[in-house]
Structure 1
């Protein structure tokens, strides 16, 4: 079994792109689901908003899902890291 990634590195990856933090810790399916729903809700809110809205408002659904994925990836990485540390000692 490989050594778990540092949770702060996973946090950085999750901030850069949705789902990448999950993929990095070995939870590719969960990461791809987050990436899919980020894209899906971003497009959905874009289609149903008016053109005079800001970029953030037009993509709010996707940004919301992305924001949910960031602490989830960090928390899962932190738990895996702590478990590996506990098993080592």
Structure 2
């Protein structure tokens, strides 16, 4: 007999990581939190614009837009971390209760 409160498996964390690397905010969209992804995109654009105005003229493209690249990297880490947490919680809930599987030994209280 199956339990009625089983939840579907969350997206694979590596899929979320790959999507977040290829297209900013897509990892958050896959996870179902598109507003969080849009917030990261907004700050990515704003900080890229600010660092482009502040950076010296002889700086490289990455140097001129370093603020945007910083937020981009943080958004990748955030999406992957959220995916890993959701996956670990799902695995933990799906595992059978192993507290009483110690051969009759009561757990320490």
- Other structure's SS at 1:38 match: helix
Report the Cα distance in structure 2 between the residues aligned to 1:17 and 1:35, rounded to whole angstroms.
Answer: 10
**Equivalent of 1:38, from 24, 44, 65?**
44
Residue 72 of structure 2 corresponds to residue 63 of structure 1? no
**Unaligned segments of structure 1, at least 5 residues:** none
Larger radius of gyration: 2
**Higher relative contact order (CA closer than 8 Å, sequence separation 6+):** 1
Question: TM-score, normalised to structure 2's length?
Answer: 0.74
Q: Which of the numbers 78, 82, 85 marks the counterpart of 2:88?
A: 82
Task: Report the Cα offset of residue 50 of structure 1.
Answer: 2.6
CA offsets per residue over residues 1-59 of structure 1, 9 Å max, x none?
54311001111111112221111101111111011111110111112223211011000
Q: Distance in 1 between matches of 2:23 and 2:81?
A: 17
| C-alpha contact (below 8 Å) 1:11/1:74 kept by paired residues | yes
Deviation, structure 1 residue 87: 2.1
Structure 1's consecutive aligned runs of 4 or more residues displaced over 6 angstroms after TM superposition are none
Q: Which residue of 1 aligns with 2:21?
A: 15
* Correspondence for 2:106: none
The answer for unaligned runs of 5 or more in structure 2 is 1-6, 96-109
